[in-house]
Structure 1
Amino acid sequence: MKNRKIVPHPYLKERLLAEGMEALKGKRYKEAYTYFVQLEQLQWHDDDVQMALVVCLFEMGQIEEAKERCEQLLERGSGDWAVYISMLVHLQQYDEVVAVIHNIQRKGIDCTPFLPLLQFSEKMIRSQYEQQAKQYEIIFESEQWSKQLRILHQLHSPIVLRIVPIFARYLCDETKHPIVKTTMLHILKKEQVTEPITVKKFAQTMTVVPAELDEQKQNDWIEQVLDIVEQKWAKQNPTMYEWGKQIWLRYMFVMYPFLPTESVQQWANALYTYIEQCETGQTISTSPLVSKLYKQKNYGSLLKVYDCMV
């Protein structure tokens, strides 16, 4: 028997559309959904049908799929901004609500109907930030160093600017962790914070403007010491050189934003001594600089946590 193409009833699409719309009006969303899906399968490419599917999915609780379909319609110049914004509110994506309304304002679309949702979303964003700030304040007052690092690596720009006072208190507290402090300073610099902040580390105090921190000075110091170390070890013992390099990079990271006060040669010599003592199993500090390098080993576990996050 030859395969024959099955031709649908000439009025099938019209019937499915009528029954789907009737079910939609009656708020029988699952039933309406089945009709509209059948129309979609029959290649009925109609924006009204697609919008009806969006409404059905939304009412059935399948919000993410409804949102994706609505976005596709809006990209084609169809769709319904009111429905889309309502879905964003339902998903508690308040930042996106604000961004979308501002975007359609720029397009010259009348946003008067959306202003209550804009005000509501802005209020919810402020409330969320306030709640987050309270939670962060508790955590940064504790000694949960690993948790503090994880939070810092997850922060977004808007919340950073709201918790600068928390950072400032942390940075001027000598008892707080130096690695967390370094991470905070990098974040504040990235966000171009111009508020003067006092930093205390290892009995040293400095007031900095994060936006103006010159990281090149530290990089120059790192390179100058490594250039000397490289001349001795890079060829004859590459493994020793890489080890020394990692020790020096970590030490300077922990010390940031403070720079060494001794000479480059003194630190290169200290690094030689430290590596050789570690290799031979000696633990006797022969100089204050070597002692400082030994102390950075205390931060090894937290440095590993940091390395896993970057």
Structure 2
Amino acid sequence: MKKEHQDVVIFPGWKRQLEQDGLEALKEKRYEDALEKVKLLEQFEAASYEILTGKIICYIELNRYDEAIALCRKLMKEDEDNYYKYLHIYITVLFQTSQYGEIISLLDEIFSTEKVPYTYREQFNQIYNLSQNFYQDEEAHNPTTEIQHFIQNLDGGSFQEQWRLLSLLRKKPVGDYIDDLIPYFSDNELNPVIKTGLLQWLTEQDVDREIEIEKFNQTKVVNPKNLSDILESNCAKEIVQSLDIIEQNDPTLFEFTRQILFRFLYVYYPFVPEQEDCLPISEAVLSLALEYLQLEEGHHSILDGESERREFWMDEIKRLEMKYFSQIE
């Protein structure tokens, strides 16, 4: 855009008077008056670095931050000699307006592509570190952002990241996001371990709503508020009770067996094995515990010979453990 008086030369005396009046108005906090003087100087392309810096300060003091930021960006492009001075002001305005993420992204790029003068680099590092701290604090105290990020991550995100985010969110309110989460209970691509974690989250929050959940080609409608704990099903209780003698004679073996059982049932939850499979599963988790602890030779008498169903469930528990749970470690 052409300046209004680009072909007219401003008299040096008038220029000095406008500069003096503008800086005086700035000093006296008459920011609107100062901007008028700056505007006149700009019309004659006679605004110095000091005057343009004063203009940015006026915008900041008048809470016209968007204009201050836009002017900084413009001057950073047009005035290479004062680039880092304007950049410093620009970053300061971003910091003042709590735009910590923008500062981090900007300085990451600048540090990797530019050789920043030492004096500015030291100041920029200080602002960068403060911005990181404030940004992390904001994220930690912004459950809405965290939940939105988690929901986005359920579509194709890594299992480890999904599990990490879910673990962080479990103590936070879920009410406003139930409708967003419900479709994932029927998503065949979602790890069943994550589905169980989601269901527990809703249960802990006393969510009273019918939800259809699909796992392993089975479909079931459940109400989280009415669900029992994973080890409270009849089958789980029967299995734990059948291991009572192990608990009395070898508490370490019992606890290890119980952990294997819990992890297996966690993958299946809220589904439970058929009643006729409870005993074979009990023998299977005990056999696996003996195998993992390398105690098979001294405990053969605990199990009743060979059993096809026991071997089937041993293979099934191992498969589920490897496919769905081992990545959590």
Q: TM-score, normalised by structure 2?
A: 0.46
Q: Work out which of the two has the higher radius of gyration on C-alpha atoms and give 1 or 2.
A: 2
Q: TM-score, normalised by structure 1?
A: 0.49
